[in-house]
């Protein structure tokens, strides 16, 4: 049986993950992405946009050409946020 404290901790972790995902959306993605739910974000970005490829001992994310500009913007905005 679950204790109430375990349920509270589980809820807190879920809220933290949700807030981090929303912060990512607001800081790195365009305005058109703001309406997407947190659950659909990985599917929209990674499963439809690209695939993981192993080549010459390296791991690459192969991205569709029409999404390539979005990924470049996300990488640049993440770098700008991280560097201050």
The answer, as to whether pTM is greater than 0.85, is: no
pLDDT in tens, 4-54: 777 888 889 989 988 988 888 888 888 888 888 888 887 777 766 678 899
How many other C-beta atoms are found inside a 10 Å radius of the C-beta of residue 28?
18
Burial of 25 (0-12, 13-18, 19+ CB in 10 A): middle
C-alpha–C-alpha distance, residues 35 and 21, integer Å: 13
**Collapsing DSSP states into helix, strand and coil, what is residue 58?**
strand
How many other C-beta atoms are found inside a 10 Å radius of the C-beta of residue 70?
18
CA 4 vs CA 14, 17, 58: distances in Å: 15, 20, 45
């Amino acid at each position: 049986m679950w204790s109430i404290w375990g349920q509270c901790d589980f809820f807190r972790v879920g809220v933290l993950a949700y807030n981090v995902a929303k912060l990512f959306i607001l800081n790195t993605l365009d305005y058109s992405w703001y309406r997407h739910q947190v659950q659909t974000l990985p599917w929209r970005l990674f499963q439809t946009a690209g695939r993981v490829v192993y080549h010459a001992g390296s791991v690459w994310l192969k991205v569709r050409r029409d999404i390539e500009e979005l990924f470049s913007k996300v990488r640049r905005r993440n770098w700008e946020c991280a560097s201050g």
